[in-house]
Chains A and B, each alone.
Chain A
Amino acid sequence: MLEAINLSKSYNGTVALDALNLKIEPGEIFCLLGANGAGKTTTINLFLNFIPPSSGTAKINQLDVVQHSLETKKFLAYIPEQVMLYRNLTGIENLEYFTSLAGERYTRDQLSGFLKEAGLPADAAEKRVGAYSKGMRQKVGIAIAIAKKAKALLLDEPTSGLDPKAANEFSELMKKMRDSGSAILVATHDLFRAKESGTRVGIMKHGRMVATLRTDEIGHADLERIYLEHMHD
């Protein structure tokens, strides 16, 4: 579903991403690990076609994202580190806006159903989002992904800054999306969550994927050890 072929990006000679090869199938959660500036966000931006690749291709559902910029986004949901919403609109109005921009029409009941599914309390859905906590915003982000029936999810550090309970809830929702057949790419710093919810993890350094591991083959301690080994220069 998500595929990178020799995907590279450099800015004025500085390499941000170096020949990334990656294939994420439906029902898979792939966690990108690595320090800040390792190329995680660059990878996500390339899949979103927000930046043009220097070489190589990013494909979603077998379509090149550069050539099919709008079509590929139909399969996609993107949840940034901070889901940003329109503060003068209620949660349900925000969801309605984003889903109708994605070309989906839902009734009010269906929309509040999605928010409920994403774990947002019913009374909060009718309130303006100006007062929402970060966890509540991330839930709206998930609700958008659910409502969009996204086949591919791009998540950029979606749980950083969430309290453990909220982060756990988020991981559960992610797993639910995975079980319904989505291919999920997560950039994260959270080794624990990566091991818990990920199918595979990839360790990135200076724009290169230095290791790829299956989470069911290693323990928490192993993952941390391998990660730290790679971080040593």
Chain B
Amino acid sequence: MHVAFRFAVAFAAAFGLAAAGSAGAYHTRFVAENCNYAAPTPTSTITRDGSAQVALRARYEGYQWAGGCWNDNDRDDSPGDPPENASTGGEGGDCSGFTFKVWRESLNEGDAGFYQWGMLRDVHGPYTAARFKSGDGAPNVTVSKSVLLKMDALASTGHIGMIYAKNADGTDQIIEAKGESYGTNIWTRTYRGDSSYSGVRRTGWSS
């Protein structure tokens, strides 16, 4: 009885220590085990509908601060990552990394060409939401919110999402990487009527 009790106490202590240790050094293995650093493929003809299809493959795949790598199994393979921690190695992009990849942009800000990045290519790109909002980079311009088209974006200093469809009531269906608790999905949003959001366009679409 005594021995069993001691064993239980030791086991509980060991379990507690292990849990505390892993909480202090939290990370998932998603990026390390699945993602790559392959070069993108330059592409000449890009349509807005084609980019919508690129975006849809990231739907339900989660969110990772500073991330940009996902598969297409319609679930977050690293749920519950600590938010705003770039080293957690989880699945998904963040809002600006998702936009960069869907807009098929270059790591060279002076290059307005189109580059197809693989889903499992871990890339974020040079832009934050604040920089997209200012129209930074050769491919990007600010535009009036009244002329926004499908796959144009609405950006604030802290967030960016792309227009998947317009609703009749003036709101939009936005495809966006929203946050660790939300993942990447399409939601109805009122960003267009929010003065903190500006219209941003990736230039050069074929149609």
Task: Say whether A associates with B.
Answer: no
